[in-house]
């Protein structure tokens, strides 16, 4: 096993799925030997990466721990993370995504977590699942696989997640953004830009002020999930809160970029499931800025007609921002539908990122807040950000 680990960790290129298929039994066997390491699996339709990073930050402040890197959440990454884990590591944290029915099975088998965290159930990968019930059925497997001595950390605000507790004999820790009936619940939630997310967390031991560097109220779920994991590991909240206060937002997940001319870009362009749009609009509505601009790329994971979905997003968005610039598939038709309405002139479509960058270069000014929402795979909005960095050097 030591030779296998050294080859993998020293490998600079890509490894084929064929090779990982052959390594899977060895990794599963090695994982069983790590009896003193707590394995934690995190799943959900939104917030997995941020929850994983917050949880890892708390655990690493208490001792050696490993975690899957970035937003890598597939079986090969689970195997690599297991092989990077040694007996002296106290914990190993895994972000576990479901891409369709049955896609979590092998990951759960090889990771064998004793703590399962579920953030939310939505219509992620809609084309594969078609319903929230199907998404919940797949993600609930993580909870159902827990040993009786394990812990399920569950979002009590989501009925699909809350119901997962019935599938295990493990201990349950419930968290909520509002309900005092949960084991952890939040009050006084604030995140009006340029302020970052703060709130008060309540437990049976009292109330504690929480400070973070995250942008948006919706991240309270991720923070509560990380604190719930801390409670599962008997970490006092007083010790868990400082690491959360110092962690920067994960890249491309409502992460701020400060440009010259006092212009700020909020990057949320890793992916753009329809489910995630309302939280972005809420953030923009509450933000304090001279001018607010939404750059909208390609939305994903929704049922029904795309035209009506984009039109609904634009209509709601115009209540929160001054202008919307579209670069996605409906960049021409959607602005046209608003041309002769009360919103005329505030919605514009751009054929390419260079033309949008030129427009921003000519019009952006001090105090502007620009939120970039799209899919890295479909829109490549990082190219727009690179151009803006050149035009507005900090």
Pairing mode, if any, of strands 184-190 and 263-268?
A: unpaired
Q: Which tokens hold the place of 147?
A: 């040993």
Condensed to tens digits (0 to 9), the pLDDT of residues 210-265 reads 999 999 999 999 999 999 999 999 999 999 999 999 999 999 999 999 999 999 99
Distance separating alpha carbons of residues 378 and 363, to the nearest angstrom: 26
Residue ranges of domains in the chain: 2-246, 255-391
Question: Is residue 95 predicted with pLDDT exceeding 80?
Answer: yes
Backbone angles phi, psi at 351, to 5 degrees: -70, -25
Q: Specify the pLDDT at position 293.
A: 98
Q: Which tokens hold the place of 305?
A: 């007609």
Question: Is residue 4 predicted with pLDDT exceeding 70?
Answer: no
330 secondary structure, DSSP code: T
Instruction: Report the topology of domain 255-391.
Output: 3.90.190
Q: Specify the pLDDT at position 20.
A: 67
- Spell out the long-range contacts of 163-166 with Cβ–Cβ below 8 A and sequence spacing 24 or more: 163/136, 164/118, 164/136, 164/139, 164/140
Tell me the three state secondary structure of residue 286.
helix
Distance separating alpha carbons of residues 78 and 59, to the nearest angstrom: 18
Distance separating alpha carbons of residues 383 and 376, to the nearest angstrom: 10
* Residue 219 CA, distance from chain mean position: 9
Kindly state the average pLDDT of the residues 356-360: 96
Tell me the three state secondary structure of residue 147.
coil
Q: Report the mean per-residue pLDDT for the chain.
A: 93
Q: Say what the pTM is.
A: 0.93
Q: Specify the pLDDT at position 13.
A: 46
Instruction: Report the topology of domain 2-246.
Output: 3.40.1190
Condensed to tens digits (0 to 9), the pLDDT of residues 296-345 reads 999 998 888 899 999 999 999 999 999 999 998 889 888 888 887 777 78
Question: Is residue 394 predicted with pLDDT exceeding 60?
Answer: yes
Kindly state the average pLDDT of the residues 265-271: 96
Condensed to tens digits (0 to 9), the pLDDT of residues 9-55 reads 554 445 555 666 678 999 999 999 999 999 999 999 999 999 999 99
Q: Which tokens hold the place of 4?
A: 């296998």
Condensed to tens digits (0 to 9), the pLDDT of residues 159-208 reads 999 999 999 999 999 999 999 999 999 999 999 999 999 999 999 999 99
């Amino acid at each position: 096993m030591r030779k296998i680990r050294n080859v993998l960790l020293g490998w600079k290129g890509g490894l084929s799925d064929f090779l990982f298929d052959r390594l899977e039994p060895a990794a599963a066997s090695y994982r069983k030997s790590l009896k003193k390491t707590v394995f934690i699996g995190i799943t959900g339709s939104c917030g997995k990466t941020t929850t994983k990073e917050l949880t890892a930050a708390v655990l690493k402040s208490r001792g050696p721990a490993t975690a899957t890197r970035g937003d890598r959440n597939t079986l090969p990454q689970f195997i690599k993370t297991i092989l990077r884990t040694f007996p002296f590591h106290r914990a190993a944290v895994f972000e576990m995504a479901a891409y369709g029915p049955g896609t979590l099975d092998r990951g759960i088998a090889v990771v064998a977590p004793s703590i399962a965290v579920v953030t939310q159930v939505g219509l992620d990968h809609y084309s594969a699942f078609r319903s929230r019930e199907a998404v919940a059925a797949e993600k609930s497997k993580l909870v159902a696989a827990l040993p009786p001595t394990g812990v399920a950390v569950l979002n009590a605000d989501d009925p699909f997640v809350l119901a997962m507790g019935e599938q295990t004999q493990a201990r349950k820790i419930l968290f909520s953004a509002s309900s005092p009936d949960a084991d952890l619940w939040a009050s006084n939630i604030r995140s009006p830009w340029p302020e970052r997310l703060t709130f008060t967390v309540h437990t049976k031991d009292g109330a504690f002020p929480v400070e973070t560097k995250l942008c948006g109220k919706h991240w309270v779920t991720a923070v509560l999930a990380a604190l719930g994991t801390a409670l599962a590991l008997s970490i006092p909240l007083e010790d868990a809160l400082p690491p959360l206060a110092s962690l920067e937002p994960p890249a491309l997940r409502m992460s701020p970029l400060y440009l010259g001319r006092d212009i700020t870009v909020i990057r949320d362009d890793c992916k753009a499931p329809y489910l995630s749009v309302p939280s972005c609009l809420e953030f923009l509505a509450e933000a304090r800025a001279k001018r607010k601009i939404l750059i909208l790329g390609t939305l994903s994971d929704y049922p029904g007609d795309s035209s009506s979905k984009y039109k609904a997003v634009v209509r709601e968005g115009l209540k929160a921002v001054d202008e919307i610039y579209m670069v996605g598939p409906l960049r021409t038709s959607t602005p046209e539908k608003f041309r002769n309405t009360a919103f005329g002139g505030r919605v514009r479509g751009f054929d390419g990122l260079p033309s949008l960058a030129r427009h921003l270069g000519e019009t952006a000014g001090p105090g502007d807040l620009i939120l970039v929402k799209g899919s890295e795979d479909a829109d490549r909005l990082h190219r727009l950000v690179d151009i803006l960095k050149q035009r507005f050097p900090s």
